[in-house]
Structure 1
Amino acid sequence: MQPGGFDLQQIVLKAQQMQDQMAKAQQQLAAATVTGTSGGGLVTATVTGTGELTALSIDPSVVDPTDTETLADLVLAAVRDASREARELTEKTMAPVTGGLGGMAGGLGLTGLPGM
């Protein structure tokens, strides 16, 4: 136990554990995919859990050379929907790792630190 009522080794151990959990969560997110749709499924966007757009599917019925604005709106809406899904997945995946951080050291289960 260090002066001041806390164990420095415990802090380092908790930080290492948290770093490992964070790396695992990030790997999960990189491997996960979510989809977003618009136009009742006429346009579908697929993104990874980290937000990288990996696929875009457009039903031929919405391709009108005289109305590219509608197609652009549908694509944008599908990508936004997929991005929202990815953000939600990220929050859900990372919550167990970061959710307990409450005043940083307090979330590490440590007491006796200044301000704790």
Structure 2
Amino acid sequence: MNSGGGMDMQAILQQAQQMQQQLMAAQQELDDAQVEGTAGGGLVKTTLNGRGQLQDVTIDPKAIDPDDAGETAQTIADLVLAAVRDAERAVDELQQEKMGPLAEGMGEGGMPGLPGF
């Protein structure tokens, strides 16, 4: 019958495959990315990957007051939380940069069922 329909389906499949490859590449870039957050003027630094998973926490010894361990512990906890939130904001921006164009290319509905998005 109409052989033209087959060509359209082929083009759609090729486009879907290309988008999948772009998505996988963007996801790999997020896995490999290192995003840093800081608090307390750099006394506490956190490192997250591009998916928002905590990779490292660094606490400068200057943040520790040996004369007030209880207060220091609470301050450090607050600084770690602030540094993680700072890094999470940067992760959100990175994800938008890497994944935003792909989401726009998929249209309004996106592609449901993709893990992690």
Q: What's the counterpart of residue 20 of structure 1? A: 21
Structure 2 unaligned segments of length 5 or more: list them. 111-117
Equivalent in 79, 89, 102 of residue 97 of structure 1: 102
- Given the alignment of the two structures, is residue 2 of structure 1 paired with residue 5 of structure 2, yes or no? yes
Task: Give 1:72 deviation, angstroms.
Answer: 0.7
Structure 1 unaligned segments of length 5 or more: list them. 106-116
Size of the alignment, in residue pairs?
Answer: 103
AA of the residue aligned to 2:5: Q
What TM-score, normalized by structure 2, do the two folds share?
0.78
Q: What's the counterpart of residue 48 of structure 2? A: 47
Q: What's the counterpart of residue 109 of structure 1? A: none
Q: How has the CA–CA distance of structure 1 residues 9 and 58 changed in structure 2, closer, same or farther, with 3 Å as cutoff?
A: same
- Equivalent residues in 2 for 1:50-65 (5 A)? 50-64=51-65, 65=69
Q: The residue matched to 1:40 in structure 2 has which SS?
A: coil
AA of the residue aligned to 1:81: D
Distance in 1, Cα, partners of 2:8 & 2:103: 21
Q: What's the counterpart of residue 83 of structure 1? A: 88
Larger RCO: 1 or 2 (CA < 8 Å, sep 6+): 1
Distance in 1, Cα, partners of 2:22 & 2:70: 51
Distance in 2, Cα, partners of 1:10 & 1:52: 37
- Given the alignment of the two structures, is residue 66 of structure 1 paired with residue 70 of structure 2, yes or no? yes
AA of the residue aligned to 1:2: G
Q: How has the CA–CA distance of structure 1 residues 103 and 66 changed in structure 2, closer, same or farther, with 3 Å as cutoff?
A: closer
AA of the residue aligned to 1:80: R
Q: CA RMSD in A?
A: 2.0
What TM-score, normalized by structure 1, do the two folds share?
0.79
Distance in 1, Cα, partners of 2:53 & 2:74: 24
